[in-house]
Copies of this chain bind each other. A is one copy, B any other.
């Protein structure tokens, strides 16, 4: 093996070029210790830890989030994986049915090592095709015996698409009529609000339970909230203990969640506008389309009609020559195509327009020639 060549290849990798670029298109910046230190800089030394779910630091934030989401109560969880399995389990137990329904690319189906099946023995029905949203018709055709339907807003794995609000209302009304519980995977709920022009509480009023995350658009360290009626959240605390999530101290996640929530919840409109502008820049390039073509939140997917081996050197060149990093990695989506996911955060709006034009101008030329 030629070590010097390996080193050259390493230094030429997309990930290395991205990390070395002085400017990144997406996100809020690197996930590093600074993020925690900034959140704690204003927290008093003698603020008491939460203790197994009790104490001001957790109870106040839970009450605040319950109000924001328009629900009776909320519980802070270390992860959405834990919170959502538990939500579906509670509704399943109450309805006396192990059958739940969700999208084929739901987080529970593809990112959780089948925890829902292995720990809770629930049987998910996969609604809709992988590449489109769940429709009212899908829901009407689910068949009998579904305890709970989970909807993810926006649907991340297809670029963050959203159903029209009227369709969402119709699905909610149908489920209520049929006694089917409706759970919201709102990992990116705040990011979806500017498109809908609704408050979080308005959207959540269509659902019986809701999960939100604090490290997507909010940019915290980790953590989630599960909200619903007080009896639902009370039961969720028992399951949180069973899962091993009722930690003696969750404040290392709660204080940053609250800090970054306050910093960023009002910036979601800006991120959405920025995402639409950035998607236009991509769509103006040869052999590039975004999904959705016009974003409906702060996120979209970038699809290249070229094999990964041809896109990587183009993105490396753009990084090195213009100082703009696009992505650390590309996913092969076929023999002659690749893609990546992009979430707009604080960084985009601070990039000078001239720099963006230089970067996209060069990218377009390189892809056209490729």
Closest partner residue, chain B, to A121 (CB atom): B121
Q: CB < 8 Å: which of B33, B85, B248, B249 contacts A244?
A: B85
* Chain A, 181-222, CB within 8 A of any chain B CB: 215, 221-222
Looking at the assembled complex, report how far the CB atom of A362 sits from the nearest CB atom of chain B, in whole angstroms. Answer: 29
A82 to B246, CA, bound (A): 10
CB contacts (< 8 Å) of A45 on chain B: these are: 32-34, 37
Q: CB < 8 Å: which of B40, B221, B241, B247 contacts A115?
A: B241
Q: Does A44 contact B (CB under 8 A)?
A: yes
CB contacts (< 8 Å) of A40 on chain B: these are: 33, 36-37, 40
Copies in the complex: 2
A78 to B223, CA, bound (A): 12
Closest partner residue, chain B, to A243 (CB atom): B243
Closest partner residue, chain B, to A38 (CB atom): B45
Closest partner residue, chain B, to A213 (CB atom): B248
Q: Does A252 contact B (CB under 8 A)?
A: yes
Contact with B along A243-272 (1 / 0, CB 8 A): 111111111110100000000000000000
A81 to B246, CA, bound (A): 9
20 contacts between A and B (CB under 8 A): A32-B45, A33-B49, A34-B46, A37-B40, A37-B45, A40-B40, A49-B221, A78-B78, A78-B244, A79-B244, A81-B246, A113-B241, A115-B243, A115-B244, A119-B242, A119-B243, A215-B248, A221-B248, A252-B252, A252-B253
